[in-house]
Amino acid sequence: MYRDPVQSLQPEQHSIATTMAMPAATRPLRVGMIGIGTVGAGTFRVLARNQATIAGRAGRGIEVVVVAARNLARAAGVVGTGVALTNDPMQVATHPDVDVVVEAAGGTGPAREWLLAAMAAGKHVVTANKALLAVHGNELFAAARQHGVALAYEGAVAVSIPIIKALREGLTANHIEWVAGIINGTTNFILSKMRDEGLGFAEALEQAQALGYAEADPAFDIEGVDAAHKITLLAANAFGMPVRFADAQVEGITALQGMDVACAEQLGYRIKLLGVARKRSDGVELRVQPALVPATHLLAHVNGSMNGILVKGDAAGVTMYYGAGAGSEQTASAVIADLVDVARLDGTNAAQRVPHLGFHTHAVDDRLAVLPRAAVHTRHYLRVPVHAAQQIEAVGAWLAAQQVPVAQVALAADKALPPGSGAQVLVLTDAVAQATVDLAVHALAAHPAVAGLVTTLRVEMLDA
């Protein structure tokens, strides 16, 4: 994968002598970096720019000594001549003069091997790779425990927002009831454009790509996978459970229509792609979906590419965390915060450190089940196309007969609908199991008043 010629990895001789003569607590923390793209370059720049402040907080300097990159010429343009370069990531992972490996290359295959090798060699690891941790996290955290090293990943979730630290440290006194939020900036930008400018999904996505908010292949973002990676990590830290990405329910925004954005606005709601983790007596809800939130709610005002996360604890109540969810130096802020934590570890017993997932191993509940989609209880929004506006009462009565607790029924305003869409009945329900709604919608499709497919979305109140 890396095919450029290998440069020498030997630091200058006087640097080795000076470094080896220093006690571990005072010599710089030596960093090996795999990848020097957006995240890696941002990390290098911020380390260089704020080195005195960072050293003052860490109690020692932090310096990058070796970097693995695909393009060594481009890497040299970022790091200069004082850093050794290689095209072999495994040389960084096992380098004898590296204390901590920063993985900034991405992916879930080779990155797993690099981190396992680094930890086996006694290196601490820092990564912002949420996909890697969501897919292989349980194995990687176990390896970190086995080898007595840190595996830090603040940058993997909502980059500039220190939400992992908040869950693992700031809220340790709390029984966490739920975590929910906007944790993908690309989809939030798209939904903001759809609401504010009346754009369709495809047009809003095109703008996001033109501005660099969305990749050329945006599937991970718009299909909800990126948000699912992140809510999986948040749930593990909030509830003391293993990483269970494979069990998450994931729904993106590709099927969302502009008329539903407008109809939600008519009813006093806004649509956001939410990651939700909620602990119940019978298990955990772990899901990503577009959902209506009240227009007066704090999350409804998280717009553009920004992220916002709410945590409900029994002692602290609801706390909110807001900030940029992407960006080179924004991610670097989180990566370097992890490096500072690693720099402070010298002399600490591994058992006394902050646990990787917030709970010590004996307290992690392997039996905590992720509930199936059918068991999720929320309020719901339904948009029902009908042959005539007068059939509004028939729709409400039919749903009530199917055990759906109807809270509000209204006709969509003409201004919310595209030309030729016909009459649309809007329904808001009280909290009800997804299974009940699914059965009712299936039955409603056969009702003579209904003129097309019924659209359903969850409604999240997210109150205290």
Q: How far apart are CA 305 and CA 191, in angstroms?
A: 10
Task: Show Cβ contacts of residue 447 under 8 Å, excluding neighbours closer than 6 positions.
Answer: 394, 395, 398
Beta carbons within 10 angstroms of residue 90's beta carbon: 16
Task: Say if CB 421 and CB 362 are below 8 A apart.
Answer: no
Annotated catalytic residue, options 165, 230, 279, 312:
230
DSSP alpha helix (H) spans, 98-171: 110-120, 130-147, 163-165
Task: Show Cβ contacts of residue 449 under 8 Å, excluding neighbours closer than 6 positions.
Answer: 386, 387, 388, 391, 394, 395, 398
Q: How far apart are CA 255 and CA 135, in angstroms?
A: 26
Backbone angles phi, psi at 311, to 5 degrees: -130, 130
Task: Say if CB 46 and CB 122 are below 8 A apart.
Answer: no
Question: 424-429 and 377-385 as β-strands: parallel, antiparallel, unpaired?
Answer: antiparallel
With tokens 């509940």, the residue in question is: 365
User: 338 by DSSP, 3-state: which?
Assistant: helix
User: 429 by DSSP, 3-state: which?
Assistant: strand
Q: How far apart are CA 279 and CA 125, in angstroms?
A: 30
Is-catalytic flag, 230? yes
Residue 124 DSSP one-character state: E
Question: 29-34 and 306-313 as β-strands: parallel, antiparallel, unpaired?
Answer: unpaired
Bridge partners for 379 per DSSP: 459
Catalytic residues: 230
